[in-house]
Amino acid sequence: MAGKWSRGGFIAGASVAALGAAARGASAAPMMDMINQRPYDWGTPLEELGTKLYTPNRVFFIRSHMGPPGHIDMKTWRISINGMVKKPIEVTLDDLKRMPKHEVSAVLQCAGNGRYWYGDAFPEASHPAGAQWRYGAVGNARWVGVRVRDVLASVGVDPKATFAKIYGLDNPLLPTTPKMIRGLDIHKVMDEDTIFAYEMNGEPIPYYHGYPVRLVVPGWAGDFWVKWFSNMTLQDHNTTNFWTAVGYRYPDKLGKPGVGVPPNKEHPVTVMNVKSIITSPLSKAGFKAGEAAVIQGLAWSGDGAYAKSVEISTDGGKSWRPAQLGELPDKYSWRSFSYRWTPDAKGAATIIARATDSKGAVQPKASPWNPGGYLWNGVQSVDVEVS
């Protein structure tokens, strides 16, 4: 199911409406792209993404597997840290807020963002199953919380621990559905920018984004950014839960489009890749020959790499010109780009943006096909008309 839906109307009809606007981050009722109504998959329209460097909470995309927990009692809510540690602990929100704050500006992107475009790029292959995201399963925010490694400093982590099993309070609607449990590499757990976040863009984490605490794993895909965080178990092996051992995996060796790959020949999706999107103009926009116009968009990369340059083509990729880049507030953030274009001929034109990151990776024309439809970063084409 796809279409437009009022975010305000969506929240008003939800079972957790009584929690109040402060916890949910509700305000006005912008239009969101409805990918799935149940579970909640709501994309941010391109015109909303292009308005600010930091995506407003009220239009920030929502990705759900199980849906939010029906109620969280802050009197009893705790984060449990256990497993291969000398001293298991339970931490309250007040405990976290008494620790040194850490802020990171970072892009959050669903691993399946852009899955829809595999169907266009590889029409001979079966379309990858899953939510058919186009551009809107991504956003950029200022996240404030406490470093996970600072919390773990008091528990005495066993040096043999290699993974953390992580999960939140959301539960499957059906008993046959596995709980959303992820396995996070210990080196990423201990990264200086991996945090237990309790603020998003200067507000308490909105309910649909994981209130009261969400794990923030900058540079990695959103499936690791566990919402409604409740438990971290340190262990010497990765979890065998479905969502790590079978789901969210990428082929070790890319094969023929449309052909499945066994999970034991795949590895977990982790790092985001270099990407850009054009937020203005949108497809079918009109221009006047001889009149100046501005092409705008956003560019980012993953795991410490950042968008270093963006090139623009206004002739379908035959020639390229450098765009002007905006500020980069953090290596995990996206940055804006703009290009002043004066079309000199009437007729159809195709605008393309292509980003290169600080490690030299270049955005491809199309991403390699994979069964999960993950990590799409093919260039975006915008068809316009010049009169």
Please write the tens of the pLDDT for every residue from 94-129: 999 999 999 999 999 999 999 999 999 999 997 899
**What are the CA-CA distances from residue 258 to residues 124, 127, 267, 371 (Å)?**
8, 8, 18, 7
Please tell me whether residues 174 and 318 are part of one structural domain: no
pLDDT category of residue 70 using cuts at 50, 70 and 90? confident
pLDDT at residue 8 tops 90: no
Please tell me whether residues 250 and 147 are part of one structural domain: yes
Please tell me whether residues 157 and 288 are part of one structural domain: no
Token look-up 């009261």 returns 212
Instruction: Give domain status of residue 263, yes or no.
Output: yes
pLDDT of residue 371: 95
pLDDT at residue 205 tops 60: yes
Please tell me whether residues 321 and 190 are part of one structural domain: no
pLDDT at residue 15 tops 50: no
pLDDT at residue 295 tops 70: yes
Please tell me whether residues 239 and 117 are part of one structural domain: yes
Please tell me whether residues 217 and 103 are part of one structural domain: yes
- Tokens representing 166 are 């992580």
Please tell me whether residues 263 and 282 are part of one structural domain: no
Boundary of a domain, candidates 268, 288, 316? 268
Please tell me whether residues 231 and 128 are part of one structural domain: yes
* Enclosing domain of residue 138: 79-268
pLDDT of residue 198: 98
Q: Is 29 exposed, middle or buried (0-12, 13-18, 19+ CB in 10 A)?
A: middle
How confident is the model over 15-43, as a mean pLDDT? 61
Instruction: Give domain status of residue 285, yes or no.
Output: yes
Domain count, the chain: 3
Instruction: Give domain status of residue 363, yes or no.
Output: yes
Domain with residue 333: its CATH number is: 2.60.40.650
pLDDT at residue 193 tops 50: yes
pTM: 0.92
In degrees, rounded to 5, the angle at the alpha carbon of residue 224 between the alpha carbons of residues 304 and 208 is: 115
Boundary of a domain, candidates 31, 63, 95? 63
Please tell me whether residues 183 and 287 are part of one structural domain: no
Give the rounded percent of residues in the chain with a pLDDT score beyond 70. Answer: 92
How confident is the model over 168-184, as a mean pLDDT? 91
pLDDT at residue 5 tops 70: no
Which one is predicted more confidently, 221 or 5?
221
